[in-house]
Homo-oligomer: A and B are copies of this chain.
């Protein structure tokens, strides 16, 4: 950031000085050093201190800054914060937030506390707006939208429209566009602020509005809203109900949070973590999120053990067969994850050419043949070099080649099938595909060995 303008930086010296001020309850220093600082920076600062200390800082700052900080906080930490404040205090903060941000905070409380907080909100319109939003699920457009927006009747003049902006100026922080509605409240278009500035005072909205506005419906899923806003490069999108009536507006900052969360969720899925956890969650929560996939992997491993057991005699005769088990299973796992992740990416990105299934599989086959041949030749060479054992080298390299082919095929087909059944295909890039391919690899390997050694 440009330092001549944004001077706030969390230096070690500043943190120490701030800690000292906290210890001495030096309200003067805290107030003056945080004056004019962006609430997002104060939020980052507060992460360094404990709840007690943060509460003291809160008591020294203006209510609207406190509200902005409360809005900025990570969910986990906010939950702890919320329990520190009385319903009356929370209501005061909510007065300073947009209805959607207020609703997000209320979502984190028990129904009982929610009602108490709402009772204390003095601005009745705000209270009813928030209540309205609480009716929607958090992950649909209705749960993402704010009620605050500027709307103008299509029959108004520019002057009337500006008057409305003046009235709502305090409620709506960022305007972007004025939404145009008909007499029934139905969304019919929008006017950008630029157009309003450049229009003559007497002009009517009807003469200058743009009737090709993109809108979303209240029940639309947040991921779809994110895709639409991304596709059309929108910084805000109006939300209409089933009858086309304008009921809210979703701004890009909320959608960026959705995009970030989706990416995080997918990463956790790929890593085999079954619920949304973070490093600072409790030991029990972390263990519980990780256990399901570990058990799946374990069951797979035990099944593998039973399977290898079938070839007990082969191993007793040729113990060297056992040496290459990890090579076979690891390669199968790696190839499977690579294949499925490429398919998952295509599925997430429908703008890319979508060839037919057959052409897709043919291509996967070609790639697998190229990689399989290269790996098999390398392995053949190495095994001959170190073990000087032709049947063994042949067994391992033929099995490896087959595993690469099969794992590619499985890795490609699994996410496509999951997607068909409405399951998140990213699930296929995780321990699921590794476990399946481990078993597949073992089957191939021992079958090849059995054949080649004429056992």
**Main SS of chain A's interface residues?**
helix
In the bound complex, do residue B370 and residue A280 qualify as a contact, i.e. CB atoms below 8 Å apart? no
Q: How many residues of A contact B (CB 8 A)?
A: 137
A324 at interface, CB cutoff 8 A = yes
Q: Chain A 123-136, CB within 8 Å of chain B: the 1/0 string?
A: 00000000000000
CB-CB < 8 A to A186: which residues of B?
A: 4
Name A286's contact: one of B286, B352, B367, B442 (CB within 8 Å): B367
Min CB–CB distance A267 → chain B (angstroms): 6
Interface positions, chain A 293-334, Cβ under 8 Å from B, are 293-295, 297-298, 300-302, 304-306, 308-309, 312, 315-316, 319-331, 333-334
Min CB–CB distance A54 → chain B (angstroms): 12
Q: A298 with B267: in contact, given A193-B175, A326-B438, A360-B279 (CB under 8 Å)?
A: no
> Could you say which of A26-34, A87-95, A341-349 contacts chain B?
A341-349
A270 to B270, CA, bound (A): 8
In the bound complex, do residue A169 and residue B196 qualify as a contact, i.e. CB atoms below 8 Å apart? no
> Could you say which of A105-113, A114-122, A210-218, A447-455 contacts chain B?
A210-218
Q: A370 with B233: in contact, given A315-B315, A329-B329 (CB under 8 Å)?
A: no
Interface positions, chain A 339-388, Cβ under 8 Å from B, are 340-346, 349, 351-355, 360, 363, 366-367, 370-371, 374-375, 378-379, 382-383, 386
A208 at interface, CB cutoff 8 A = no
The residues of A with any CB-CB pair to B shorter than 8 Å are: 1-2, 4-6, 36, 38, 40, 43-44, 47, 74, 77, 162, 165-166, 169, 174-176, 186-189, 192-194, 196-198, 211-217, 228, 230-233, 235, 240, 244, 252-253, 256, 259-260, 263-264, 266-268, 270-273, 277-280, 283-284, 286-287, 290-291, 293-295, 297-298, 300-302, 304-306, 308-309, 312, 315-316, 319-331, 333-335, 337-338, 340-346, 349, 351-355, 360, 363, 366-367, 370-371, 374-375, 378-379, 382-383, 386, 400, 404, 429, 431, 434-435, 438, 442
